[in-house]
Structure 1
Amino acid sequence: MADQHFDVIVIGSGPGGYVAAIRAAQLGQKVAVVEREHLGGICLNWGCIPTKALLRSSEVFHLMHRAKEFGLKAEGISYDLPAVVARSRGVAKQLAGGVGHLLKKNKVTVVMGTAKLLAGSKVEVKTDKGTETLAAKNIILATGARARELPGLEADGDLVWSYKHALVASRMPKKLLVIGSGAIGIEFASFFNTLGAETTVVEVMDRILPVEDAEISAFAKKQFVKQGMKILEKAAVKKLDRQPGKGVTAHIEIGGKVETQEFDTVISAVGIVGNVENLGLEELGVKIDRTHVVTDEFCRTGVPGLFAIGDIAGAPWLAHKASHEGVMVAELIAGQHPHPIKPGSIAGCTYCHPQVASVGLTEAKAKEQGYEIRVGRFPFIGNGKAIALGEPEGLVKTIFDAKTGELLGAHMVGAEVTELIQGYIVGRTLETTEAELMETVFPHPTLSEMMHESVLNAYGRAIHF
């Protein structure tokens, strides 16, 4: 069979791949996408989207228990775990179907199968029907990443779960151990803890949510502990003894001593590794560093016409970073002059309860980089909308360069901060200083007013604090 020729071939259809394909098609390129499993990738099928659906169910459940505070009556409150999971799967399915529709609408050819790169800008695809070869001058790798497995802590789907097992939980854990307190670990801890699991989180670093500003981590930890979570920092799970049908004995090292604790379920969330295997990368001379493809600021791999975007190209491992890189590469291929992505303007969002969101430098990082800084804070308890919502626990923190007024970083914990953070991201993209932020009129009553007050506070001008 003759090779099929395209202008661009995208390998992987997650938020990096499908977006790159659509943008390339919009720019007049003939595009093919190769996908081995599900359109929409991990994010839509097994990550960002279904986890948010689960967390929404636990949030509503939590609010129902607080009905009395709002002058409402709700009695005999319970949940149906299979129905919660079914709703989450339905949301994922709807969005994955939407991706298929968008690719079709943009006349992108979809080839379902497993891809391998060949010399001469060719891609071999193993499909259900056999093997076919595609050729294109430009190839975009968007194969994503998967959960890291530590020796002895591997998921078995029964007693020890990966995020995939947790998303389709077959039972409600009574006593749950979550290993790792990054976004994935803390979101699942939050979900199961809210539904009543006795939850312990083990983090090897000196604090939970270790990439966040230390003050925000400490605030979040206080809230989690208040909700009944047990948090062990500077701790490591050394070994799991599994007794099928009974549970797991975890050997946890804390302060140089190993102690054992019993759990019926363990969720391992110890990071991710890039999907770089069996793609033929080594043969082509692509540089790989700790399971990630090494690229320049424009996602070029060093092999002419071969780009890598999203999780496979390294941190930050975020869907929105992948999508943005996809657009940038598609525009580069079409002869345009896009700007490289600035990692400091990519926000991180964690959808636990309370939510956590941040962009730019933490206070410690800003000091480390030699900045003289001004820091502003504003607590949720000083905001009318937060109190009316019944969400008075939270904090907005802003960090400015004392010399220039540049907004170096913003960090938040509390209700809906994953939506609020966007205001500061736009500010950073527009290279705003404290002066413009102070002059901006924020609507009242909104949570966003706290963003204004936090800026004012950095300059000793806060009105309500």
Structure 2
Amino acid sequence: MAAKSFDMIVIGAGPGGYVAAIRGAQLGLSVAVVEREHLGGICLNWGCIPTKALLRSAEVFHLMHRAKEFGLKAEGLGYDLDAVVARSRAVAKQLSGGIGHLLKKNKVTVLMGEATLPRAGVVAVKSGAGVEEITGKAIVLATGARARVLPGLEADGDLVWTYKHALTPKRMPKKLLVIGSGAIGIEFASFFNTLGADTTVVEVMDRVLPVEDAEISAFAKKQFVKQGMKILEKTTVTQLDRSPGKVVAHLQDAKGTTTAEFDTVISAVGIVGNVEGLGLEALGVKIDRTHVVVDEFCRTGVPGLYAIGDIAGAPWLAHKASHEGVMVAELIAGKHAHPIKPGTIAGCTYCTPQVASVGLTEEKAKAAGYTVKVGRFPFIGNGKAIALGEPEGMVKTVFDAKTGELLGAHMVGAEVTEMIQGYVIGRTLETTEEELMHTVFPHPTLSEMMHESVLDAYGRALHM
């Protein structure tokens, strides 16, 4: 029997893969998707979406405790962890089912199974029914990534958790250690701390949220500490001694090693690309530190083979993967595609307070040789923020002093993950301070702080 043939085969149905498949089908390509676990990938099933559902429960719980501030009464407050987790799983399930519907609607062939590339242009799909080979004129690798495991800090699901265990916790941690303060680590720290866990965060770099602007990191840290978290920077966990019901962590900093006891540890020390077992090396694909090396159009250098999303390297963000999926589908369909500019991709962290940024930090802008103008505006100066009861936060903008180009924007505070998009559009349109100053921002909104921050960079802030 002749192998089924497609214009485009996508391996992996996460936010990169399923979007690439849909866009390819929209452009008239015959498309197949191979997925070994679940449609929507990590992001939808075990990442972005279910974590936001958990964090929303924590946010509502936090607000319930503040009822008196708003003239409200709430007594006998508590939570049911199993019910919180069940809601999170239901949200993920609903969306995962939606992906199946979208693929079907767009006439994409979905094959559930493990993919390998035995030779150029061929994908072998191993499932319970055996192995089926299909051929594709173009193949897109969208296999994603998984949690990095450090020797001695391996997860066991009981005392030491990965993000997956933390999303479906069997118990509420009393004394929690979170290793790593990137987005994943700090979001889980925020969730469990809000629900009452005594939380310690360890970060090997000199500050929490190390990819963010230093000023924003410092502001966020102050809020985390105010909420009761312990933050240990420039510290590594060298060893975990496990015994029934407890873990003794060996913590090393510049002064030496100390030990501390916890009942739960969450390891969030980065990710590694899912590059193994596909047969990539034999095809001549270059792999650098578990990531496939690609050009600006996500081409691997092997004709007809592309790689998108987490497997293709940083930034490890779902929206970057989706955009790359669209770009690659358009290339395969013979359309004119634009490469993605990393400086226009926003990063969002959904801790309390939220953190969002796009473009260069002040430090990186100066290191790149720019003379900068920097503007700041605090939440405390904004009417909407005060009315919401959210006066803690800041918006910071960085401009090129010579041209007025918006180089970067950085925010910490309530709902900044929704606001950052304004600056993202600005970066995409290559805006200058002049257009931003001439933009009329609605009142009363949090977004007015974006305007004020721009004005402040040029000594023109009105409400400060």
Q: Please confirm whether the aligned pair reaches a TM-score higher than 0.5, indicating the same fold.
A: yes
- The amino acid across from 2:179 in the alignment is I
Name the counterpart of 1:54: 54
What is the Cα deviation at residue 232 of structure 1? 0.1
Is 1:302 matched with 2:301? yes
Is 1:84 matched with 2:89? no
CA distance in 2, matches of 1:254, 1:339: 45
Name the counterpart of 1:137: 137
CA distance in 2, matches of 1:347, 1:154: 31
- The amino acid across from 2:250 in the alignment is H
What is the Cα deviation at residue 118 of structure 1? 2.1
Residues 279-303 of structure 1 show CA distances to partners (whole Å, capped at 9, x for unaligned) of 0000001000000000000000000
What is the Cα deviation at residue 255 of structure 1? 1.6
CA distance in 2, matches of 1:367, 1:69: 43
- The amino acid across from 1:253 in the alignment is Q
- The amino acid across from 1:69 in the alignment is E
- The amino acid across from 2:288 in the alignment is D
- Is the partner of 2:78 in helix, strand or coil? coil
What is the Cα deviation at residue 256 of structure 1? 3.7
- Residue correspondence of structure 1 range 314-463 to structure 2 within 5 A: 314-463=313-462
CA distance in 2, matches of 1:120, 1:159: 44
- Is the partner of 1:329 in helix, strand or coil? helix
- Residue correspondence of structure 1 range 175-190 to structure 2 within 5 A: 175-190=175-190
Name the counterpart of 2:234: 234
What is the Cα deviation at residue 119 of structure 1? 1.5
- Is the partner of 1:420 in helix, strand or coil? helix
CA distance in 2, matches of 1:446, 1:56: 21
Residues 364-395 of structure 1 show CA distances to partners (whole Å, capped at 9, x for unaligned) of 00000000000000000000000000000000
CA distance in 2, matches of 1:293, 1:138: 16
What is the Cα deviation at residue 2 of structure 1? 2.3
Q: TM-score, normalised by structure 1?
A: 0.99
What is the Cα deviation at residue 127 of structure 1? 1.0
Conserved? CA contact 2:403–2:432, under 8 Å: yes
- The amino acid across from 1:149 in the alignment is V
Name the counterpart of 2:149: 149
- Residue correspondence of structure 1 range 14-163 to structure 2 within 5 A: 14-163=14-163
Structure 1 residue runs of 4 or more that deviate by more than 3 Å after TM superposition: none
- Residue correspondence of structure 1 range 194-209 to structure 2 within 5 A: 194-209=194-209
Q: TM-score, normalised by structure 2?
A: 1.00
CA distance in 2, matches of 1:247, 1:418: 36
- The amino acid across from 2:123 in the alignment is V
Conserved? CA contact 2:116–2:278, under 8 Å: yes
Length, aligned pairs only: 464
- The amino acid across from 2:428 in the alignment is T
- The amino acid across from 2:84 in the alignment is V
CA distance in 1, matches of 2:127, 2:4: 14
Conserved? CA contact 2:17–2:322, under 8 Å: yes
Residues 118-161 of structure 1 show CA distances to partners (whole Å, capped at 9, x for unaligned) of 21300000011010001011000000000000000000000000
Residues 31-62 of structure 1 show CA distances to partners (whole Å, capped at 9, x for unaligned) of 00000000000000000000000000000000
Q: Which runs of 5+ in 2 are unaligned?
A: none
Residues 168-221 of structure 1 show CA distances to partners (whole Å, capped at 9, x for unaligned) of 001000000000000000000000000000000000000000000000000000
What is the Cα deviation at residue 337 of structure 1? 1.0
Residues 324-367 of structure 1 show CA distances to partners (whole Å, capped at 9, x for unaligned) of 00000000011111110000000000000000000000000000
* Between 247-256 and 375-384, the greater mean CA deviation after superposition: 247-256
Q: CA RMSD in A?
A: 0.5
- Residue correspondence of structure 1 range 263-302 to structure 2 within 5 A: 263-302=262-301
Q: Which runs of 5+ in 1 are unaligned?
A: none
What is the Cα deviation at residue 21 of structure 1? 0.1
- Is the partner of 2:63 in helix, strand or coil? helix
CA distance in 1, matches of 2:103, 2:120: 26
- Is the partner of 1:249 in helix, strand or coil? strand
CA distance in 2, matches of 1:460, 1:402: 13
Conserved? CA contact 2:120–2:283, under 8 Å: no
* Between 116-125 and 52-61, the greater mean CA deviation after superposition: 116-125
Name the counterpart of 2:243: 243
Conserved? CA contact 2:24–2:31, under 8 Å: yes
CA distance in 2, matches of 1:120, 1:146: 26
